[in-house]
Chain A
Amino acid sequence: DTEVTQTPKHLVMGMTNKKSLKCEQHMGHRAMYWYKQKAKKPPELMFVYSYEKLSINESVPSRFSPECPNSSLLNLHLHALQPEDSALYLCASSQDIEGWTSDHNEQFFGPGTRLTVL
């Protein structure tokens, strides 16, 4: 199984709502990522988890809260978002084994969650 799944596909929420985005992979990858992508722009890294520990937070506002409950799952909890947070949120995973060469740094992306904040 070489697939990364994301739910929901679409999400509309108000600025006072709390919602969560979910991501799952069963490739045995130990690194997982959240990216944000605005229309006609490249993806921008938000968070990196390695072996279920947060290794990078790219100065993301605290209204975005990541969680990695186990090696296959990655969540992004959303609270009090702003309309400018509307975007495509992409999850990705990659192998993360110490000592491996950089040939194994390919990231596998999910289809994304299209988020609209009203």
Chain B
Amino acid sequence: SQQGEEDPQALSIQEGENATMNCSYKTSINNLQWYRQNSGRGLVHLILIRSNEREKHSGRLRVTLDTSKKSSSLLITASRAADTASYFCATDAVVTGGGNKLTFGTGTQLKVEL
């Protein structure tokens, strides 16, 4: 079952504008991760925020986490056409037998127009 719901489902902005995507989840987490997927291809890890962190930055990315509301947001500043992709949040649970289990949200399709 899907853990997270993301909104908006789709977002269209102009180059140079900021894009904000929101993710809500249902259960306790170890950490929350954001991934990007270009059309029909593999996913690329963007950023990981631990459950005891509230905000994290990486280049043009800013992620917030509110565990009391079970929600996270991803902000991309000064967007570029190359940022056009689908963005997924994923909650992370450690597996007893090893590895970690990612449960992905529904995703936001971002289109950045020139």
**A interface, how many residues as a size bin?**
35 or more
Chain B contact surface mostly: strand
Chain A nearest CB, measured from B107 CB (Å): 5
CA distance A55 to B98 in the complex (A): 6
For chain B, which range describes its interface: under 10, 10 to 19, 20 to 34, or 35 or more residues? 20 to 34
For the complex, give the distance between the alpha carbons of A31 and B99 in Å.
5
Q: How far is the CA of A101 from the CA of B30 in the complex (A)?
A: 10
Contact A49 B48 (CB under 8 A): no
Q: Which residues of B contact A45 (CB under 8 A)?
A: 101-103
Residues of chain A with a CB closer than 8 A to B48's CB: 102-103, 105-106
Considering the complex, give the chain B residue whose CB is closest to the CB of A55. B97
A42 pairs with B105, CB closer than 8 A: yes
B24 to chain A, nearest CB (A): 14
* Most chain A C-beta atoms within 10 Å of own C-beta, residue among B31, B99, B102, B106: B99
Question: In the bound complex, how far is the Cα of B96 from the Cα of A4, in angstroms?
Answer: 25
CB within 8 Å of A: which residues of B?
A: 2, 30-31, 33, 35, 40-45, 48, 50, 88, 92, 94-107
